[in-house]
Amino acid sequence: MKISRNPDTIHSPVAPYVHQIEVTGPNRWLTLSGQLGMEVDGTVPESPLEQLKLALENIKRNLEAANMEVKDLTKLVFYLVGAFEANERRKMIGDFLGGHLPCTTMLYVVALAAPAFKVEIDAFACKNV
């Protein structure tokens, strides 16, 4: 079972996420390598927002391959390079999550594995069995 909490002893979340998710009972866990904003054919769009959209789609495809859904995500870690329009970024992530609130961390970093990459996302999911 997954139990989401925002303890009243700490500040409210500053974006669409929860502070903690406790997992109990028999479960299937999925850990993804960092997902890039890259097409199946290896092309990488120049736009950071397009890369964000693709990285989120790649997470969804990984979840589907494991017979999981976005609602099974427990943690997302965003690594971003350069400027992102905050409202567009939040909307895109919110649309992807569809009301689901995993734990999240967002970091702005100097660079990723190659200069073309502006987005990488780690994802963790858990499905009750």
Task: Provide the domain count of the chain.
Answer: 1
Domain-embedded: residue 4: no
**pLDDT for res 78:** 98
| Amino acid (1-letter code) at residue 93 | I
**pLDDT for res 65:** 94
Domain-embedded: residue 3: no
**pLDDT for res 7:** 92
Q: Work out the number of other CB atoms within 10 angstroms of the CB of residue 12.
A: 7
| pTM score | 0.88
Domain-embedded: residue 19: no
- 51: domain CATH number? 3.30.1330.40
Rounded average pLDDT per 10-residue block, the chain, 129 residues? 90 87 90 94 96 97 95 97 93 97 96 97 94
Domain range for residue 76?
31-128
Domain-embedded: residue 6: no
Domain-embedded: residue 14: no
DSSP 26-91: SEEEEEEEEEES--TTS---S-HHHHHHHHHHHHHHHHHHTT--GGGEEEEEEEE-S---HHHHHH
**pLDDT for res 53:** 97
Answer positive or negative: Cα dihedral of 16, 114, 108, 22.
positive
Domain-embedded: residue 2: no
**pLDDT for res 10:** 87
